[in-house]
Amino acid sequence: MSGGLLVAGTTSDAGKSVVTAGICRWLVRQGVKVAPFKAQNMSLNSFVTREGAEIGRAQAMQAQACRIEPTALMNPVLLKPGGEQSSQVVLMGRPVGELSARGYHGGRQQRLLGTVLDCLADLRGTYDAVICEGAGSPAEINLRRTDIVNMGIARNARLPVLVVGDIDRGGVFASFFGTVALLSPEDQELVAGFLVNKFRGDVSLLEPGLDMLHGLTGRRTYGVLPFRHGLGIDEEDGLRVSLRGTVRESDVSPPAGEDVLRVAVCALPLMSNFTDVDALAAEPGVVVRFVDRPEELADADLVVVPGTRGTVRALEWLRERGLADALRRRAAEGRPVLGICGGFQILGEHIEDEVESRAGHVAGLGVLPVRVRFAREKTLTRPVGEALGERVEGYEIHHGVASVTAGEPFLDGCRVARTWGTHWHGSLESDGFRRAFLREVAAAAGRRFVPAPDTSFAALREAQLDRLGDLIEQHADTDALWRLIESGAPQGLPFIPPGAPA
C-alpha cells in the first residue's frame, strides 16, 4: 500500500485536525505505517522536534496518533502571526523572516510549493500512507492561484480529498455543496465526498439529506461522527479574539483532597502554546479558566502568565487593563504566579527588544530578577532537567535570552518566594513535577487540595487519541475510506456548476 488522503474542511475549525488524527490512529491500529502532513499551518501553538525543528502542535499530536516521532517534514511551512497583518515564516523548522499577508500570498507562498511537494514525496516514500490536513477551506477562491495546502497540493500529488463539515454550526449541506461548486473541474475530480462532524441526535433523521446531497453532487458521505466533549486537543487557532471565560475541560473525577484548586490564565494578545495548561486541567480538582480583568485574579490560587508571540505588546496590554498592578501585588503578597516563556520575560525587570517588537528598552513588571535581550536567532531545544526534586522534560521556543541575577534556580529561570518563571513549555506534562508544583501552590494558597497520585498526562493523551480512532472505526465507512486512501478518488465524478470563477 502507498496511499494518501487530504482532509479538507468547509471552514476553519470544522474538525480537520482531530479527524486527521483519528484516521491516523485507526490506520496504525490496522498495522499500517502512517504519517501526518500539513503543508502550511498558521498557529501560535508549536512544538520542537528532536532535531530542533519548530512545527505546529497539531502535527506533533497527529504524529503521536501515528506512534512515530514528529519531524519537520510533517509541517514544512509554519506561519506564526505577529498581528493582523504579518506573520513569522518558519520553513523546515527554522524562522526565515517576517512577511505581510500580501507579501506572502503575492508570490512567496507559490515558491514554497516545490519544498512542500518534496517533503510529501519523502514521507510517501517512507510510509504506507500519508494523511494530509488542509487549511481553512479549499474553496478560498481569492487564494487558489497560490494555494499550497489544499487543492494546490491535492492536484500536484493526485490526492483524493475528503471534505469535513461541522454540522453543529448549522448549514452543513449548503457548505458541502458550495465548497464543491466553487472549485474548478480539475479540482472537483479529486473531491471524493464528505464527512459530517459533531452530529447530535438521531442519524436516521439526517440520512434523507445525505441522500439528497449525493443526488446533487454525485458524491457520497463517508461517515457521520457524533459530537464528543473533550476532543479539541492541541488547538491551532493563533488569532482567536478572546479566551476570557473559556474553561478548560477538566477531568470528571472528583478532587483527591477536600478542596479544588483554581487556576487563572491571563489571556494575553498573541497567546502562544496555551496548551501548556492542559496538563493542569487534566488533574482532578483543578479548574482552569482564561481571564482578562484584574478582579478575576482575586480568587485564583495560581495565576499563569503564558507564552506570547508579542511580549512587549502583551506587557502593554497587562498595564492597560490593570492586570500588571494586580500581578505585582499578588507576587508581593506571596500568592502563586507562574510565568512561562513570554510570561517569564514579562515578569522580569527589563526587556531589550530590537527583534520582535523593535521597541528597544522596555521595563518589565520587576517581579523576578531577570533581564531579557531578544536575539535574532531563535532558541529551539528539548531540555531535560530537575525541579522540586522531580525530573522534568520540556521544549523551548523563544528569541528572548534571559540573564538571571538572583533568586533560586528553577529550570532555566528562577523563583522568588511564590513566583516562578521559566522558558520551558510542556514542563507540567511531567507528572511528578506537576504534582510537586501543585502541592506547593496548594500550601501557599491555604487549600486542602491534594494532587491525584495516579494521573498520567501521557496516558490521558493516548486515551484521547484512541477515542478519535474509535470515532473513525465506529462511525465512518472504513472499507470505503481504505479504498479511497489506497486507490484515489473514484472516476467519473460529475462537475457541479458554476465552478471556480475565471
Instruction: Write out the catalytic residue numbers.
Output: 341, 425
Residues 16, 134: contact at Cβ < 8 Å? yes
- Residue 200: what residue type? R
* Listed residue (308, 348, 309, 310) closest to 331, CA to CA: 348
Residues 216, 193: contact at Cβ < 8 Å? no
Q: 379-399: buried (b, 16+ CB within 10 Å) or exposed (e) per residue?
A: bbebbebebbeeebebbbbbb
Residues 175, 165: contact at Cβ < 8 Å? yes
- Residue 435: what residue type? R
Q: Which residues contact 369 (CB under 8 A, 6 or more apart)?
A: 348, 349, 404, 405, 406, 407, 414, 416
Q: How far is CA 250 from the centre of its chain?
A: 18
Residues 287, 250: contact at Cβ < 8 Å? yes
Q: Which residues contact 95 (CB under 8 A, 6 or more apart)?
A: 54, 88, 89, 378
Cα distances (Å, whole numbers) of residue 489 to 33, 220, 427: 21, 11, 43
Q: Is 174 exposed, middle or buried (0-12, 13-18, 19+ CB in 10 A)?
A: exposed
- Residue 265: what residue type? V
DSSP 388-448: TTEEEE-BEEEEEEEEE-SSEEETTEEEETTEEEES-BSGGGSHHHHHHHHHHHHHHHT--
Sign of CA dihedral 238, 239, 244, 248: negative
Distance between CA atoms of residues 278 and 285, nearest Å: 13
